[in-house]
Amino acid sequence: MSSHRFRVLSALPLALLAAACRGGAPDAPGNGAASAAEQTTSGGEVAPAVSPADSAAAAPTAGAPACAPDGGGITVPAGFCATVFADSVGGARHVAVAPNGDVFVALQTPRRRDADESGQTARGGILALRDRDGDGRAEARELFGDGGGTGIAVAPGWVYVDAGPRILRYPVPAGQLRPTGEPQVIVDGLPMGGHAAHSFALDGRGTLYVNVGSRSNACQVQDRQKGSPGASPCTELETRAGIWRYRADAQNQQFSAAERHATGIRNAVALTVAPDGSLWAAQHGRDQLFQNWPEHFDAQESAENPAEELLRVAAGDDFGWPYCYYDRGQRKRVLAPEYGGDGTQVGRCAQPKAPAATFPGHWAPMSVLFYTGRQFPARYRQGAFVAFHGSWNRAPLPQGGYLVAFVPLRDGRAAGEFETFADGFAGRAPLAQPSDARHRPVGLAQAPDGGVYVTDDVRGRIWKIVHTGR
C-alpha cells in the first residue's frame, strides 16, 4: 500500500495580530480591477454600481470596531483579522452580498425569530442582514422564503435561492432588505433524495448553472454494500451527478436530461463563475474504499482518497464518476473497485478530464470564491478560496478539513500547493467525528469593501475577514 503525504501551510496564530487591529480601507478603483462599484457577486454576476442612496451601507466607516482579540474563535494569517458579523442565525449555508453591502444567507432549515420592530413575528429560510451603523455587526435582520436550502445568489433586482426541487428568485429592489413580491419559479422538478443540495451559480450573461448531485455513493447495485459491483451503465448519470444549464431570466423551466452541461461530478456543492466567465466546481469524492473493499485499501488510503477536486468545467466535460476517482498520491484517475479496479489500474479512466487542483479526501468543499477586490494583497487575486466543511468518512482516522484554504492558480490549474488561510473552526483537535466540531465553514462571499464573509452551519456564526496591512 502506498502512503501519501500532503503539505499544508498553517495559518499563524491570531495572537500575533495586534489586539486593536482595525478594518481595512475600501477598495481603490482602477488599475484594471473591479472597484466597489463593479463587484462580482458570489454567484459570479457583475453587480451594478452602488447608487448614492446606498453608498453609506456599502463603505465601512472610520469608526469600524476593533477586531476581536480571539478572531471570533478562528485564526487568520498575520496582517488579517476576523470579526463576528452576526451570530446564532441558524444553519447558515451559502451567502451572497448585494452591491450596497446587504448580506443574504440561505438557512439549512427555516427558523422563526422574535417580533421585529413592527411587533410581527417572522419565519423563513432566507436571512437578510444589514449593518446600519457601520460598526461591523448586523443590526437589521429579516427572514423570508418558506423553505430552507443551500444555494443563494444576488443579481440586479433579484435574490435567487435553492428551494428543494426548485430554483426561485425573489424581487428585491436596490436598497430594500426584503422582497417586494412573490417569487418566480425559474427551474422546477430538480431531483431530490441523496445529495439534494442544489447549489448554483450565475454567469452574469444570463446563464444559470445548477448542481444535481448523485443519489448514491458509487452507483453500486446495492448502495454502500460491501463488495457490491457498480451498475453498468450507471443510469444515474442521465439525470444526476453533473451540472445543468438554464436561462437565468426564464420562468417555469423544467428539469430534463437535455439541459445537462457536464457529467461525472458526484456532488458539487461548491459552484461558482470565475472573473473570466469560466465555470468552476469543487467535488465531494466518493466514500468507503476501505470499508467496502478491504482487500484493496487500508484505512489510511481510504481516509486520504479519493482526493477532493477543484474542477474547471466546460460544456460536455466528463470527470469520471462513478467509474473513476482521483488518487492524490499517484496524481491520476484510477478505476473504481466497483468496476474492477484495485487502486492502481487506470483502464477507462485515462479519458475523463483532470482536476485543476486537489485536496485531501473527505474534507467536503462547500464554497469556492475567486477574490476580485483590492483590499487583500495582490497574490490573492491569482487564485481561489475554498471552504471545507469536514466529513465523516476519514474514520477511524482523525477528522480533517474544517478550514478555509487558498489555492494559487495559473492558466486554469494549480500553481502551487494550497495553504490554510482561516483555521480553528473545529475548536479542538483531533476530532473523532464531525459532530464534535464547534463550527463548520460553508459559505464564502466578497463584500463591496473587499472583506470576505464566512458562514457556519453549526452555531450560525458569520465572520468577516479583513486585511489590516499590519
Model confidence pLDDT, tens digit, residues 330-349: 999 999 999 999 999 999 99
CA-based nearest residue to 197, from 251, 240, 255, 253: 240
Q: Is residue 430 part of a domain?
A: yes
pTM (2 decimals)?
A: 0.85
Q: What is the pLDDT of residue 70?
A: 86
CA-based nearest residue to 309, from 267, 257, 246: 267
Q: What is the pLDDT of residue 118?
A: 53
- Whether 299 has a pLDDT exceeding 50, the answer reads yes
Q: Is residue 6 part of a domain?
A: no
Grid cell in block for residue 388:
471545507
Q: What is the pLDDT of residue 305?
A: 93
Q: What is the pLDDT of residue 355?
A: 97
Domain count, the chain: 1
Grid cell in block for residue 338:
466497483
Q: Is residue 305 part of a domain?
A: yes
Beta bridge partners of 105: 95, 127
Per-residue pLDDT band for 146 (boundaries 50, 70, 90) equals confident
CA-based nearest residue to 83, from 379, 453, 340: 453
Q: What is the CATH classification number for the domain harbouring 383?
A: 2.120.10.30
Q: How many CB atoms lie within 10 A of CB 192?
A: 10
Contact (CB, 8 A) for 270 and 365: yes
Q: What is the pLDDT of residues 362-415, one digit of tens each?
A: 999 999 999 999 999 999 999 999 999 998 888 888 888 999 999 999 999 999
Contact (CB, 8 A) for 33 and 450: no
Q: What is the pLDDT of residue 66?
A: 66
Q: How many CA atoms lie within 13 A of 106 on its CB side?
A: 32
Q: What is the DSSP string of 422-470?
A: EB-TTSSSS-SSGGG-S--EEEEEE-TTS-EEEEESSS--EEEEEE---
Q: What is the pLDDT of residue 62?
A: 39
CA-based nearest residue to 452, from 355, 395, 385, 353: 385
Domain of 333 in residue numbering reads as 14-27+34-467
* Nearest-angstrom CA–CA distance, 247 and 254: 11
Of 26-40, 136-150, 151-165, the poorest mean pLDDT is in: 26-40
Contact (CB, 8 A) for 38 and 49: yes
Maximum average pLDDT range among 8-22, 62-76, 101-115, 382-396: 382-396
* Nearest-angstrom CA–CA distance, 118 and 292: 57
Secondary structure of residue 270 in the 3-state scheme: strand
Q: Is residue 49 part of a domain?
A: yes
Q: Is residue 3 part of a domain?
A: no
State the burial class of residue 295 (Cβ atoms within 10 Å of its Cβ: 0-12, 13-18, 19+): exposed
Per-residue pLDDT band for 234 (boundaries 50, 70, 90) equals very high
Q: Cell 431531483 appears where? A: 191
- AA letter at 263: T
Q: Is residue 274 part of a domain?
A: yes
Q: What is the arrangement of strands in the sheet containing 308-313, beginning at the earlier edge strand?
A: 270-273, 279-283, 308-313, 357-359
* Nearest-angstrom CA–CA distance, 185 and 246: 12
- Whether 33 has a pLDDT exceeding 50, the answer reads no
* Nearest-angstrom CA–CA distance, 458 and 87: 11
Q: Cell 444515474 appears where? A: 236
Strands annotated E in 177-294 = 184-188, 200-202, 207-212, 242-247, 253-254, 260-263, 270-273, 279-283
Q: Is residue 4 part of a domain?
A: no
Which element (helix H / strand E) includes 385?
strand 383-388
Contact (CB, 8 A) for 45 and 154: yes
- Whether 178 has a pLDDT exceeding 60, the answer reads yes
Secondary structure of residue 415 in the 3-state scheme: coil
Q: Is residue 2 part of a domain?
A: no
